[in-house]
Amino acid sequence: GTDATTQGLKQPSKESLSNGPFVQSEILLPGASGAPLERTITLANATTVELSCKLDTNSPLKNPQVTWKKGNETISHTSKTENSWSIQLEIVDSSKLGSYSCILKGEEEISATFHLQVPDVEGRGRHVITYERDTAVMLCKSDSAPMAWTWYMISGSKQIAINASSKGDKYLIVRQSAGVTQLRILKLTKEDAGVYFCQATFELGKVKLEVELKVLSIMAPLKPFLAVVAEVLILLTTIVLYEVYSKRKEKRTGEKAFDQIEQL
């Protein structure tokens, strides 16, 4: 129905088709102008991709002029059937990735876009906060299995690779599965704070994810408590001093009154 079609325009769909030797993907165009349809296709390895735009048979748009583009560059479609237009791509390296759009022009204009990209890398969090002498744990994962995982630390303007020979008593890299890697930094010090990132290497390109590490002093959790204790001590000291002052004042007042009575 109309509601379902409209809702489908709001969010781009996503296909993970990284391991197939031949990938086919088709977008059905409803034939009414509006938000462009989008679809993301993730590719880890070299493959052949066929992208198709098919016009709904009930569309009022008849005999449209069809243009395919990669970014802003116009390309020609390789095949046409009734109400359907396709292009076939040989994706052999990262230069072939990108956004491919079909544009149908008639009384109205409608379009659809396919985004070809390498798989994303996700992490447990973009910021890790822990304490001195503790262990920091960073995790990266991908739905597809990379050819290799590499961890780096950023020192100034340099990227330094972390591997098995990098301070064996400091860093521990654990590959939990083909798509998951973990970096552990042991016996943390203030000098370990900074930016780290994992890099997944696929046949069609590399993807990285940055993680910022903050290392706090072991006294940091005690600071709020110590502040409260200090406030309480100041308050108690003030009360005690006031009591002592009040008693001395009362004593002096009593002695003065006694002296006046004796004089009388």
Reported as a single tens digit per residue, the pLDDT across 185-206 is 999 999 999 999 999 999 999 9
Residue 49 has pLDDT above 80, yes or no: yes
Q: What is the pLDDT of residue 152?
A: 94
At which residue do the structure tokens 């059937």 appear? 81
Decide: 92 and 43 in contact? Cβ < 8 Å. Answer: no
Per-residue pLDDT, averaged over 32-56, amounts to 87
Residue 16 has pLDDT above 50, yes or no: no
Backbone angles phi, psi at 247, to 5 degrees: -65, -40
What whole-number distance in Å separates Cα of residue 241 and Cα of residue 248? 11
Q: What is the pLDDT of residue 259?
A: 60
Decide: 130 and 215 in contact? Cβ < 8 Å. Answer: yes
Decide: 115 and 39 in contact? Cβ < 8 Å. Answer: yes
For each of the domains in the chain, give its residue range(s) and CATH number, in order of start.
Answer: 22-117 (2.60.40.10), 121-218 (2.60.40.10)
Q: Which residues of 162-175 are buried (b: 16+ CB within 10 A; e: fewer)?
A: beeeeeeeebebee
Neighbour count for residue 106 (Cβ, 10 Å): 16
**In whole numbers, what is the pLDDT of the chain averaged over residues?**
82
pLDDT, tens digit, 9 for 90 and up, residues 118-148: 999 998 778 899 999 999 999 999 999 999 9
More confident residue, 225 or 110: 110
| Residue 137, token pair as written in the block | 């744990």
Residue 37 has pLDDT above 50, yes or no: yes
Instruction: Mean pLDDT check: name the lowest of 3-7, 15-19, 22-26.
Output: 3-7
Instruction: Mean pLDDT check: name the lowest of 61-65, 159-163, 175-179.
Output: 61-65
pLDDT tier, 79 (very low <50, low <70, confident <90, very high otherwise):
confident
Taking the alpha carbons at both ends of the chain, their separation in whole angstroms is: 110
- Please state, in angstroms and as integers, the Cα–Cα distance from residue 66 to each residue in 36, 114, 171, following that order: 15, 16, 56
pLDDT, tens digit, 9 for 90 and up, residues 154-164: 988 888 999 76
Strands of the sheet with 122-123, listed across from one edge = 122-123, 136-141, 180-185, 171-177
What whole-number distance in Å separates Cα of residue 42 and Cα of residue 20? 11
Decide: 5 and 30 in contact? Cβ < 8 Å. Answer: yes
CA quadruple 225, 227, 229, 235: dihedral sign: negative
CA quadruple 119, 123, 125, 129: dihedral sign: negative
At which residue do the structure tokens 């973009």 appear? 126
